[in-house]
Amino acid sequence: MHVNADKSEGRPTGEGSLTPWSSSPAARGLVGLARRVARVISARGVLYLTALIGIVLVAILSEAGGEVYEAVTEQDGVAQLDQPALDTALRWRSPALNQGVTIFTHLGGPLGMTIIASAITALMVWRWRARTPLVLMLIAVAGSLLLTTLGKTNFGRTRPPTSEAVPPFETTPSFPSGHALNSTVIAGVVAYLVIRQLERRLTRLLAIGIAVIWAVAIGLSRVFLGHHWLTDVMFGWLVGLAWLTVVIVAHRLYLSVRAERRSASSGPGSTSG
């Protein structure tokens, strides 16, 4: 099967086009900067460069956020959420529920999310005859895994005691929750790609709702099983949302630059053949 560029990019979706999005001063500034950069590199180069700059910024913010978290933890601030949340999970546990949540949480793990993301991406590429889902998913997943690895390496927080966790136990550092971070990013990218193909507001809201429920449920499953502290999960959600925002903004800048180039090439004096 030959995969073409995304023919739907820049087309009207729902009540308006997804390409002319620069309604705020910040967005107009970004679009203007992207257009200047695009004079030197390609539109897709703008996508990659924006993602690269974004991952650096998110990593720096994550490092700063982690330092703030550690300072607050020393004063028993945010960390006061952790033990009460784990105690609540202990009260709710039962053999049947433990088994069900364990099966579910594996769907948000490295193997489970790889299979799910690959299957959904392949379906999008085949159904829409577009390579955009593959490109965005690869960028999103690569950045998500990098942020997870950097966070765990830099902070090395210990997980809840195994005496209060449901096996199988995990030994990697606890902060941030990779399940929460990666699920947020992947579900968010899927939702973004899907709503670009939907025209009804209700179905678009449904796609977003499913993504939110998935990310929240995966994160809370980690707390329920005692594999993460609640603040690990909360930080994973926040970092995931930050990186997801970067990926979406990068793609929107790419669309804006590409739309301008197409408009210029088809304007007065242009030739085709």
Q: pTM of the full predicted structure?
A: 0.85
C-alpha to C-alpha distance for 53 and 246, rounded to whole angstroms:
9
Q: How far lies 232's CA from each of 38, 118, 170, 226, 255, in Å?
A: 39, 26, 14, 11, 35
pLDDT bucket at 2, cuts 50 / 70 / 90: very low
Q: Which two tokens stand for residue 239?
A: 């970092």
Distance of CA 9 to the CA centre of its chain: 20
Mean pLDDT across the chain, nearest whole number? 83
**Alpha helices, DSSP H, located in the chain:** 25-37, 43-74, 82-92, 95-107, 110-128, 132-155, 178-195, 201-224, 230-265
pLDDT tens column, 120-130: 999 999 998 88
Out of 67-71, 121-125, 259-263, the most confident range is 121-125
Written as one letter, the residue type at 146 is L
Distance of CA 192 to the CA centre of its chain: 10
With contact defined as beta carbons under 8 Å apart, do 214 and 178 qualify? no
Question: What average pLDDT does the segment 30-53 reach?
Answer: 80
pLDDT tens column, 54-66: 999 998 888 887 7
C-alpha to C-alpha distance for 116 and 215, rounded to whole angstroms:
14
Question: What average pLDDT does the segment 137-165 reach?
Answer: 91
C-alpha to C-alpha distance for 133 and 26, rounded to whole angstroms:
26
Question: What average pLDDT does the segment 61-84 reach?
Answer: 70
User: Which pLDDT score is estimated for 20?
Assistant: 52
Between 81-90, 91-100, 213-222, the lowest mean confidence (pLDDT) is in: 81-90
Between 19-33, 116-130, 212-226, 231-245, the lowest mean confidence (pLDDT) is in: 19-33
C-alpha to C-alpha distance for 32 and 257, rounded to whole angstroms:
9
